[in-house]
Amino acid sequence: MKEKYYITTAIAYTSRKPHIGNTYEIVLTDAIARYKRQRGYDVFFLTGTDEHGQKIGEAAQEAGITPQEYVDGVAGEIRNIWDLMDASYDHFIRTTDDSHVKSVQKIFNKLYEQGDIYKSEYEGWYCVPCESFFTETQLVDGCCPDCGREVKKTKEEAYFFKMSKYQDKLMQYIEENPDFIQPESRKREMVNNFIKPGLQDLCVSRTSFDWGIPVTFDDGHVIYVWIDALSNYITALGYAPDEQGELYKKYWPADVHVIGKDILRFHTIYWPIMLMALGEPLPKQIFGHPWLLSGADKISKSRGNAIYADDLVQLFGVDAVRYYLLCEMPYAQDGTISYENIISRFNADLANTLGNLVNRTVAMMQKYFGGVLQAPVQGEFDDELKACALETVKICADKMDGFKTADALAEIMNLARRSNKYIDETMPWALAKDESQKERLGGVLYNLIESIRFIGVLLAPFMPKTSKSIFNQIGATECDWDSLSEFGKTAVGSSVGTAEPLFARLDEKKMLESIEKSMPAPKKEEKKAEKKEEKLPEISIEDFAKLELKVGLVLESKRVEGADKLLVSKIKIGDEVRQIVSGIAKFYPPEEFVGKKVIVITNLKPVKLRGVLSEGMILAAADDKNLSVLALDQDMPDGTLVR
């Protein structure tokens, strides 16, 4: 019977379309899953989407649709991208799946009933406009990290998980299983920074939003995302505390959870403890991969440097994108992505080294032997080529067993380079001119076809389409891993196919120019996309009537200390004078602002901005570069209603 191998990715948030960094993870996991299948394992590869939480609820509200409609849309988009990338997952779980929801509720209830979850109060810093809790360390200058407004220390009733109870048991597991956390450097970080200083109990429910799985026995509480999200790895296999499905019995524990370094803590601390509390076995390994950066920055929508897989696939093809992602990311350090790098890798590795090797060899086979493979005859340089091919198999296996995909790919490219060198050394075109060398020419081409077959098999987990195309072109029938035990498995007398370019060289200059034209600076593209997403729901005239707008006269204005964008102004509105803080300092020096008539929202709840009270809002038209305060067409007295 085949040995089982259960591998998972993190489940992606359905708050937005996934960028190329998120896509890296599915491609990495797919390469490992395909490699394991190739090695004869019975693989179960799970991926999916994480669909609950306040942010997603808010995004739906902004889009004017229900949260379910919103997550249906984004989950569909994520799945399309995973499919576009040729991810060979066996199951795609969504945390809104009915079966998942029911199992998570049962898990929560069991943990509560056995006393591992208890009710208490959650104390944190609350930002009223954002409706969000933050910990002390999340605050920026003591204010809300999202909107910069003042936050209040608040208490909320919530359920907590007794992490501390399992701390020693977790430490023991990590010590007894030295390979549990990969890479090694991350293990030290988890142990020294989080476990040793002592685990805090984890807040596992919320009452401040409702887009989540309800706690069955306490109305108003929803299960806060990590118990919901992490459980996907077992609920997808049909696990619930009272029934354990066939898949669960077969595949659990997971052989590896592949996740990004930012969520390592949840997977190496909270998840094992949850499983200990449930009395279930722990995953064998957690691999926290590094991040893909754009220049020196994290890829993120708000930074405006997001690159998307579908755009790249359109430009370069799916296998070239897979190749780039897998070879550009070292095992433990962050990698970078840029159009220039993709093009130069494409040309150097895929077009020049690999494409040329296959193309030249198949074309020579056709030209000199009508495509029919001749018997190998031993000659100079052969042993070196064969040794390199056989050695590459061993090294690749070793690298892939340690998830070092970039190193494995480098070895495969090295074999392709060695094969090109073999062409230069043996000079088939010179042999072809000498009839007495015909046998040797046949032997040289046999060795090249065999070496290309090795490359085709080794590349299959990384570039499945290219691998197939290589097999077609060389007419390979021995395409599985075991066929690499011997150099010389290809049958003499078999025929190769027709030569077709695998990767046509790209004109870097032209390509960059056209990218520039078709996709203006990513920043602009992003901003547009964000604006589109912010489309607000239709409102009624009654909704509009809730706003009180009045004409105001600016009496005084000065900059807010320590905030270069903010002006604090005294505005006369009829009989009263209000203090209003506005983000207009870059466009209106305070002295020029005094004396202007402006439009003010006067019934907005007062807030403190950077600690300064603001009792209203001045209306302005603004885009990325410009801002203009709304003015009256004709003069009107301050205090006049705006309707």
The residues that touch ligand ME8, with contacts defined as CB under 6 A, are 10-13, 21-22, 24-25, 50, 229-230, 232, 259-260, 262-263, 291-292, 298-299
- Number of other CB atoms surrounding residue 181 within 10 Å: 23
In terms of CB distance, is 22 or 569 closer to ligand ME8? Answer: 22
Beta strands in 39-80 (DSSP E): 42-50
Residue 194 or 291: which CB sits closer to ligand ME8? 291
Half-sphere exposure of 238 (CA within 13 A, CB side): 9
Identity of the residue, 10 or 506, whose beta carbon is nearer to ligand ME8 in the bound complex: 10
* Residue placing its CB nearer to ligand ME8 in the complex, 262 or 425: 262
Query: Nearest-CA neighbor of 449 among 345, 349, 366?
Result: 366
Please give the Cα distance from 335 to 8 (Å, whole number). 22
Task: Give least dist CB 631 to ligand ME8, A.
Answer: 43
Q: How far is the CB of 91 from ligand ME8 (least distance, A)?
A: 15
Q: Which is nearer to ligand ME8, 59 or 506 (CB)?
A: 59
| Shortest distance, position 293 Cβ to ligand ME8, whole Å | 7
* H helix runs in 370-461, sequence order: 382-401, 405-426, 428-431, 438-459
Query: CA–CA separation, 224 vs 616, rounded Å?
Result: 34
Q: Which is nearer to ligand ME8, 236 or 599 (CB)?
A: 236
Of 259 and 571, which has the nearer Cβ to ligand ME8?
Answer: 259
DSSP state of 481: G
**Number of residues written out for the chain:** 643
In contact, 439 and 374? CB cutoff 8 Å: yes
- Which of residues 50 and 638 has its CB atom nearest to ligand ME8 in the complex? 50
Q: How far apart are CA 643 and CA 633, in angstroms?
A: 14
Q: How many CA atoms lie within 13 A of 607 on its CB side?
A: 20
Q: By the 8 A CB rule, do 157 and 204 touch?
A: no
Burial class (CB in 10 A: 0-12, 13-18, 19+), 186: buried
- Can you state the angle between helices 318-328 and 464-474, rounded to 10 degrees? 120
Whichever of 158 and 263 has its CB closer to ligand ME8, that residue is: 263
Shortest Cβ 139–ligand ME8 spacing (Å)? 21
* Closer of 58 and 638 to ligand ME8 (Cβ): 58
Closest to ligand ME8 by CB, 161 vs 593, is 161
With b for 16 or more beta-carbon neighbours within 10 A and e for fewer, the 243-265 pattern comes to: eebebbeebbebbbbbbbbebbb
Tokens of 548: 């009180």
DSSP code of residue 207? S
- Six token digits for residue 64: 């004017």
The residue among 601, 602, 584 whose CA lies nearest residue 593 is 584
What single string gives the DSSP state of each residue in 295-354? TTEEP-TTTT----HHHHHHHH-HHHHHHHHHHHS-SSS-EE--HHHHHHHIIIIIIIII
- Cα distance between residue 93 and residue 47, in whole Å: 6
* Nearest by Cα to 101 from 216, 9, 220, 249: 216
Report residue 219 CA to chain centroid gap.
34
Collapse the DSSP code of 110 into the 3-class scheme (helix H, G, I; strand E, B; otherwise coil) and give the result. Answer: helix
Closest separation in Å from C-beta 47 to ligand ME8: 10
Residue 259 vs 423, nearer CB to ligand ME8: 259
CB 18, min distance to ligand ME8, A: 6
**Based on CB atoms, which residue is closest to ligand ME8, 24 or 252?**
24
Q: How far is the CB of 12 from ligand ME8 (least distance, A)?
A: 4
In one letter, which amino acid is 488? G
User: How far apart are CB 549 and ligand ME8 at their closest, in Å?
Assistant: 39
Least CB distance to ligand ME8 at residue 257 (A): 8
Q: Are 567 and 558 in contact (CB under 8 A)?
A: yes
Rounded to a whole number of angstroms, the minimum distance from the CB of residue 25 to ligand ME8 is: 5
Half-sphere exposure of 70 (CA within 13 A, CB side): 24
Whose CB is nearest to ligand ME8? 260
Between residues 11 and 318, which has the closer beta carbon with respect to ligand ME8? Answer: 11
Cβ–Cβ under 8 Å, residues 613 and 580: no
Sheet strand arrangement including 213-214: 205-206, 222-223, 213-214
Backbone angles phi, psi at 136, to 5 degrees: -50, -45
Nearer to ligand ME8, 10 or 388 (CB): 10
Minimum distance of ligand ME8 from residue 8's CB (angstroms): 9
Give the nearest distance from C-beta 71 to ligand ME8 in angstroms.
Answer: 12
Minimum Å distance from CB 295 to ligand ME8? 12
The three-point CA angle 175-179-184 to 5° equals: 95
Minimum distance of ligand ME8 from residue 24's CB (angstroms): 5
Considering the complex, state which of residue 55 and residue 527 has its C-beta at the smaller distance from ligand ME8: 55
Question: CB 32 → ligand ME8: shortest distance, Å?
Answer: 14
What's the min distance (Å) between Cβ of 55 and ligand ME8?
10
